[in-house]
Amino acid sequence: MTAVPPWDAFTSAEAEVRAMVADPRWQGLSVPDRAHVLAARILVTPDGDRWLFGAHARWHLHDPADGRWHLAPPPRGTRARQVGHAAAALPDAVVPHGHDFHAEPGSTQAFVGPDVPERLTEQLRVLVRACGRKSELDYPLTAFGEIFASDVPSTVAAVWGTIMWCAYAPAFDGNERLITIFGEYLRRSLPGDEWVRWLPAPPLLDLVTLVAERLRAGRSRAALRLAAVMADTAQILLLDTRFRPRALALLTMVEPMLRRPGLGDAGEDDETRRAWLERCPARLCRALLVENDPAEHFSHTLYDLVEALAFTAEPPRAAATFLADLSDSRETLPARLDHRLRMAYEELRQAGLTSTSAAESTQPEGFPVRPGGVSVAPAPVLEVAPPDRGSAAEVLGAAYAMGLAWGRLTGAKVPERGLAGQSALVRKIVHERDDDHTGPI
């Protein structure tokens, strides 16, 4: 007989809200009416914390200090009861629209651990080989020049850029086959340590530039070929959940160009980027937060990190050890945290354990970095020991995505050898080099 999982207040409340939002009548309700319905389903835990399952199909935690609601995964399995709450006190931002509940869940795993599926890599290898036969005179390298040699055609850069933009967290094993297929085109060795490549996440503008420049040059066929390469790459990437949400979003942005070549993307790069973003349907909005709302995107990656650390006794405290790697010279980070995270982070700061990737020189409002990009960290305050490789990959991916999101928000730079807490975790799993080549699907 199959064991029945114990009843959980958070799971029950979540199922109830999902059912209401899925009901066609939800769209007919005004925002105040929706808020009223949600306010009656707020949960309170014995410590007094108030929890709401709302926008983006995610939990929000009420901050008793200032009344704000922060994205935060709940303490599932903790006793909770339903309480009334003033509907007028709920900000519109936490009330579901409906389309935000249709987001692709994706995966927070980095590519440190399970490899990309072999059939996906093989399809991309064939595509890269074909793209490499194009002429750099017809396809000049107008973006990604720091990655590729000057004689590499932009068709190859279009594949690379699509992979890196679609990746939730572009941190790869040094022997990841998906990266090695680009070896002959690289300008220099990729950044990282002896095993992990901590790669930058390009902005959408870099992909747009490849296409828009060709259109402005009157080379519409070349522009369409680049858009087609991006679409082909994104279509292949749908096979892996670590790429899927943004791959879907990118397809909705570039495919209209292929169906209607005269769509009018020949303006300046920023103007073309806005046109691409406007084509993406609302149901994929979370995938584009990285472009449209860096602050909200940072909050979502932090949610993912705390959720990935659910195996620990105190996920907020564990997450704070990764937050401690971030440089915060303007002290803006604490105000972006819920009160549980804020307290844990402040304890580390008072102990002098924040900015643990710090060094002698630093970019303004950036990650402090030692010469050569080496991360330095004190002894960890809280041991993070994932139970298996999959859990470790989820923590590494979420932590790296969080670091990149902080960089997008503040202009911070990520050390070439990764942030300190992540590098320490990698050292614990470095002996597990023989990956399961099936990967997550």
- pLDDT tens for 117-164 read 999 999 999 999 999 999 999 999 999 999 999 999 999 999 999 999
Q: Are residues 281 and 398 in the same domain?
A: no
In a domain, residue 441? The reply is no
State pTM to two decimals: 0.90
In a domain, residue 110? The reply is no
Which of 287, 357, 365, 278 is CA-nearest to residue 325? 357
Q: What percent of the chain has pLDDT over 90?
A: 70
- The span from the CA of 165 to the CA of 208, in Å, is 12
Q: Are residues 127 and 234 in the same domain?
A: yes
Q: Are residues 311 and 367 in the same domain?
A: yes
pLDDT, residue 352, reads 87
Question: Does the structure show a pLDDT above 80 at 378?
Answer: no
CA 86 from chain centre, in angstroms, equals 33
Ramachandran quadrant class, 439 (left: phi over 0; alpha: psi -120 to 50; beta: rest): left
In a domain, residue 436? The reply is no
In a domain, residue 437? The reply is no
Helices 204-216 and 220-237: crossing angle, nearest 10°? Answer: 150
- The span from the CA of 230 to the CA of 142, in Å, is 15
Q: Which of 72, 102, 132 is the last residue of a domain?
A: 102
Q: Are residues 156 and 131 in the same domain?
A: yes
> Structural domain of residue 396, as residue ranges?
294-429
Rounded average pLDDT over 248-276: 86
In a domain, residue 182? The reply is yes
* Band of residue 404 on the pLDDT scale cut at 50, 70, 90: very high
Rounded average pLDDT over 71-95: 91
- The span from the CA of 63 to the CA of 70, in Å, is 7
Q: Which of 68, 102, 136 is the last residue of a domain?
A: 102
Q: Are residues 209 and 285 in the same domain?
A: yes
Name the phi and psi angles at 238, rounded to 5. -60, -20
Domain count, the chain: 3
Question: Does the structure show a pLDDT above 80 at 193?
Answer: no
In a domain, residue 229? The reply is yes
- The span from the CA of 59 to the CA of 74, in Å, is 7
Q: Are residues 309 and 271 in the same domain?
A: no
pLDDT, residue 16, reads 95
Q: Are residues 307 and 288 in the same domain?
A: no
Q: Which of 274, 292, 310 is the last residue of a domain?
A: 292
Q: Are residues 95 and 194 in the same domain?
A: no
Q: Are residues 167 and 179 in the same domain?
A: yes
In a domain, residue 108? The reply is no
For the sheet with 58-62, list strands across it: 69-71, 58-62, 50-54, 42-44, 81-83
Q: Are residues 232 and 375 in the same domain?
A: no
In a domain, residue 70? The reply is yes
* Band of residue 440 on the pLDDT scale cut at 50, 70, 90: very low
Contacts of 141 (CB under 8 A, 6+ apart): 148, 150, 152, 153, 154, 157
Mean residue pLDDT of the chain comes to 88
Q: Are residues 353 and 402 in the same domain?
A: yes
Q: Are residues 142 and 32 in the same domain?
A: no
Q: Given the structure tokens 């303007």, which residue do they identify?
A: 330
Per-residue DSSP letter, 186: B
